[in-house]
């Protein structure tokens, strides 16, 4: 049995079915960072260096979307044969931050529409002898229908 691990550490929790992206929040001004900023607050008017680890919201609204119809180059590890995928930019309301991610398997651009609710899921990216490597994906929230 292969071990399930994130493709890159420290970006999200491995909690199917409810994974969370890992960010930080500045204790001084309240601004958020993803990927996590752990050294300084990047707000130019804030001198705080106390940044707390936070789990970001799992849901947001679709800001925009596109597709990758051709295989991206390395260091992406593509499926063989390559399957085109959709990519979403999702706005998290509480954090005021927009985050990119592939759209879950089987959901193409025709099913997407700006403004629709989206949620975070995990998906296998690639495998080796011992591990299955995961990343995050966005998926229309159950029941959401787009593509007018």
122 touches another protein by CB under 8 A: no
Residue 100 as a binder of another protein (CB under 8 A): the answer is: yes
47: alpha, beta or left? (left if phi > 0; alpha if psi -120 to 50) = alpha
Distance CA 144, CA 12 (A): 24
Q: How many residues bind another protein (CB under 8 A)?
A: 51
Residue 135 contacts Zn ion per CB under 5 A: no
Query: Does 36 engage in binding with Zn ion (CB under 5 A)?
Result: no
19 neighbors 121 (Cβ within 8 angstroms): yes
Site string for Zn ion, 59-98 (x = CB under 5 A): ----------------------------------------
Residues 66 to 95 in contact with another protein, rule: CB under 8 A: 66-70, 72-78, 85-87, 89, 94-95
Out of 4, 7, 11, 28, the only residue in the binding site for Zn ion (CB under 5 A) is 28
* CB-based contacts of 127-133 (< 8 A; 24+ apart in sequence): 127/2, 129/2, 130/2, 130/3, 131/2, 131/3, 131/4, 131/5, 132/2, 132/3, 132/4, 132/5, 133/5, 133/6, 133/7
Q: Which two tokens stand for residue 120?
A: 């975070």
The answer to the question of residue 54 lying near Zn ion (CB under 5 A) is no
Q: Which residue has the tokens 């799992």?
A: 58
Binding site for another protein (CB under 8 A): 7-9, 11, 26, 29-35, 42-46, 63-70, 72-78, 85-87, 89, 94-102, 109, 113-115, 125, 135
The residues that touch Zn ion, with contacts defined as CB under 5 A, are 26, 28-29, 41, 43, 46, 48
């Amino acid at each position: 049995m292969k071990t399930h691990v994130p493709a890159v550490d420290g970006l999200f929790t491995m909690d199917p079915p409810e994974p969370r992206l890992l960010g930080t929040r500045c204790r001084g001004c309240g601004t958020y960072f993803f990927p996590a900023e752990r050294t300084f607050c990047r707000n130019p008017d804030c001198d705080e260096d106390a940044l707390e680890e936070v789990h970001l919201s799992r849901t947001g609204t679709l800001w925009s979307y596109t597709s990758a119809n051709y295989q991206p180059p390395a260091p992406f590890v593509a499926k063989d044969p390559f399957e085109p995928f959709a990519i979403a930019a999702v706005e998290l309301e509480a954090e005021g931050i927009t985050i990119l991610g592939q759209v879950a398997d089987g959901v193409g651009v025709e099913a997407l529409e700006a403004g629709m609710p989206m949620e975070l899921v995990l998906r296998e990216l690639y495998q080796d002898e011992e591990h299955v490597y995961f990343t995050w994906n966005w998926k229309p929230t159950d029941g959401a229908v787009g593509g007018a």
